[in-house]
């Protein structure tokens, strides 16, 4: 299958070629022809599968191939749960639409109203929005959705989790009944089925199953930790290795994100925090610094990192295991993007045993145990994969870089930092836990 077979407008094919894509991903190959028939679509696909292009390309094709109705407001509306994801979709629209004339824009919370009002005042082809701010404009009568042709919900499961269901249904109710609706979600559970039942008409369904997307090009590793101090020592040890070129470290709370970032900065690393309490400007700066290679480490919460698309992330480290298995898949999908290899390392303490079980059940994959020489855990965890011999530096596994963070074979991994006690700042900040 090639993009030429999909009968997309030549200006889109030119943009795809400029991106260097040689063939459509499975979700693109299945969704694009389906959307081009005009039928509604319910698709389960996670981030990292190429799902953004799977809806942006046919949406742009529609804008190019059918005349616009007169009036104000967008022809295509993409709703996303977070601003980061909205920015990423906006960027994709810019990339794939760069050889066509298109008026597009974003309507996001935390941004000035003035520019948004100017945007909404004129005919516009495509808007990417978060539901909260859009409903605000709608309720104040500043947004007309009367000529909308296509409504796209991206990461609908996350929108449900974040309580956006009411605004989404209100927005949909303000659009023409004959619109085409596409719903993308990481999972298709009963809640999504109910939402789909309300919003979609006889949709085609496409499933890109989690097994297909817990990518073969991401090596998943588990490191058992005795406690927080042990996790911190392992983190310091890992990030001290230059093989970790660009790293996203996930932690459970906004406060821990800040604490870890400070701790790593004190250790001489270039690092930024990324969490939902930061202003939009600060969040954008952190992502841009990572993209441009100004910082090597980004410590993030799940919500802030959703949809984050930075190429060249060599490693993801889960300082804490996520509570939801879906989040695990999202997190590790930050690495191994666009065909590159990636390594995802998860720390797990005995109290996180339940989360680990759920993740392994969801992905259908056992995560292999690894250890860092000199930092072996005293505790063990009974997991599906615990019975296998753990990877360990110099532990008779044929010299495979099992315990190292992707080091070249033969390159020693252990380092002196392993011997250090948990750093003082860290001990103090986490003492209350």
Query: Which chain residues interact with ligand AMP by CB under 6 A?
Result: 21, 24-25, 28, 47-53, 309, 337-338
Nearest to 44 by CA among 237, 207, 227: 207
Cβ at position 113, least distance to ligand AMP in Å? 29
Cβ at position 335, least distance to ligand AMP in Å? 11
Q: Which is nearer to ligand AMP, 288 or 420 (CB)?
A: 288
DSSP per-residue letters across 94-138: HHHTTTS---EEEE-TTS-HHHHHHHHHSEEEEEEE-HHHHHHHH
Nearest to 252 by CA among 346, 345, 160, 318: 318
Q: Which is nearer to ligand AMP, 22 or 379 (CB)?
A: 22
Cβ at position 32, least distance to ligand AMP in Å? 10
State whether residue 293 is helix, strand or coil.
coil
How far apart (Å, rounded) are the C-alpha atoms in residues 68 and 123? 9
Cβ at position 328, least distance to ligand AMP in Å? 16
Cα distance between the two ends of the chain: 53
Q: Which is nearer to ligand AMP, 29 or 297 (CB)?
A: 29
Answer yes or no: are the C-beta atoms of 345 and 367 closer than 8 Å: no
Nearest to 419 by CA among 201, 236, 280: 236
Cβ at position 20, least distance to ligand AMP in Å? 7
H helix or E strand, kind and range, residue 365: none
How far apart (Å, rounded) are the C-alpha atoms in residues 27 and 55? 10
Q: Which is nearer to ligand AMP, 48 or 406 (CB)?
A: 48
Cβ at position 307, least distance to ligand AMP in Å? 7
Cβ at position 267, least distance to ligand AMP in Å? 30
Q: Which is nearer to ligand AMP, 309 or 326 (CB)?
A: 309
Q: Which is nearer to ligand AMP, 44 or 175 (CB)?
A: 44
Q: Which is nearer to ligand AMP, 24 or 210 (CB)?
A: 24
Cβ at position 246, least distance to ligand AMP in Å? 14
Q: Which is nearer to ligand AMP, 48 or 167 (CB)?
A: 48
Nearest to 338 by CA among 22, 17, 3: 22
How far apart (Å, rounded) are the C-alpha atoms in residues 169 and 196? 11
Q: Which is nearer to ligand AMP, 92 or 171 (CB)?
A: 92
- Strands 315-318 and 247-250, sheet pairing: parallel
- CB contact set of 318 (below 8 Å; sequence gap of 6+): 249, 250, 328, 331, 344, 345, 346, 347
- CB contact set of 43 (below 8 Å; sequence gap of 6+): 27, 30, 31, 51, 54, 182, 183, 184, 185, 205, 206, 207, 208
How distant is the alpha carbon of residue 1 from its chain centre?
26
Nearest to 49 by CA among 332, 367, 390: 332
Q: Which is nearer to ligand AMP, 78 or 372 (CB)?
A: 78
How far apart (Å, rounded) are the C-alpha atoms in residues 175 and 71? 14
Q: Which is nearer to ligand AMP, 53 or 228 (CB)?
A: 53
Cβ at position 111, least distance to ligand AMP in Å? 22
Cβ at position 212, least distance to ligand AMP in Å? 12
Residue closest to ligand AMP, measured at CB? 52
Enter the tokens of residue 103: 């008026």
The radius of gyration of the chain's CA atoms, rounded to the nearest angstrom, is 23
Cβ at position 187, least distance to ligand AMP in Å? 15
């Amino acid at each position: 299958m090639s993009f030429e077979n999909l009968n997309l407008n030549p200006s889109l094919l030119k943009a795809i070629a400029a991106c260097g894509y040689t063939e459509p991903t499975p979700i693109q190959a299945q969704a694009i022809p389906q959307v081009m028939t005009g039928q509604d679509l319910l698709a389960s696909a996670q981030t990292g599968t190429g799902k953004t292009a799977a809806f942006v390309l046919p949406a742009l094709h529609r804008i190019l191939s059918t005349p616009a109705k007169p009036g104000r407001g967008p022809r295509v509306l993409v709703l996303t749960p977070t601003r980061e994801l909205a920015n990423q979709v906006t960027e994709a629209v810019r990339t794939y639409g760069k050889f066509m004339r298109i008026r597009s824009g974003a309507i996001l919370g935390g941004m000035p109203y003035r520019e948004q009002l100017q945007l909404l005042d004129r005919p516009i082809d495509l808007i990417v929005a978060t539901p909260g701010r859009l409903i605000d404009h709608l309720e104040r009568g500043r947004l007309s959705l009367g000529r909308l042709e296509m409504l796209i919900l991206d990461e609908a499961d996350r929108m449900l989790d974040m309580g956006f269901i009411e605004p989404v249904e209100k927005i949909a109710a303000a659009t023409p009944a004959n619109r085409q609706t596409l719903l993308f979600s990481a999972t298709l559970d009963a809640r999504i089925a109910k939402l789909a039942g309300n919003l979609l008409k006889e949709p085609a369904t496409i499933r890109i199953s989690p097994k297909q997307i817990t990518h073969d090009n991401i090596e998943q590793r588990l490191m058992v930790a005795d406690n927080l101090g042990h996790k911190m020592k392992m983190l310091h040890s890992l990030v001290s290795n230059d093989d970790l070129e660009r790293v996203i470290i996930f932690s459970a709370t906004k406060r821990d994100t800040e604490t870890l970032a400070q701790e790593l900065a004190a250790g001489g690393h270039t690092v930024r925090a990324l969490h939902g309490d930061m202003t939009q400007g600060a969040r954008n700066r952190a992502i841009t610094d990572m993209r441009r290679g100004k910082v090597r480490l980004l410590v993030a919460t799940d919500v802030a990192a959703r949809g984050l698309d930075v190429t060249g992330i060599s490693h993801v480290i889960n300082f804490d295991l996520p509570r939801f298995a879906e989040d695990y898949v999202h997190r590790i999908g930050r690495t191994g993007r666009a065909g590159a290899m990636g390594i995802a390392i998860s720390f797990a303490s005995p109290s996180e045993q339940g989360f680990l079980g759920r993740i392994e059940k969801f992905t259908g994959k056992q995560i292999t145990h690894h250890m860092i020489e000199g930092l072996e855990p005293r505790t063990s965890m009974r997991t599906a994969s615990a019975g296998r011999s753990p990877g360990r530096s110099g532990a008779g596994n044929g010299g495979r870089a099992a315990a190292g963070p992707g080091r070249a074979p033969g390159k020693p991994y252990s380092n002196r930092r392993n011997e250090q006690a948990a750093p003082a700042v860290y001990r103090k900040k986490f003492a209350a836990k």
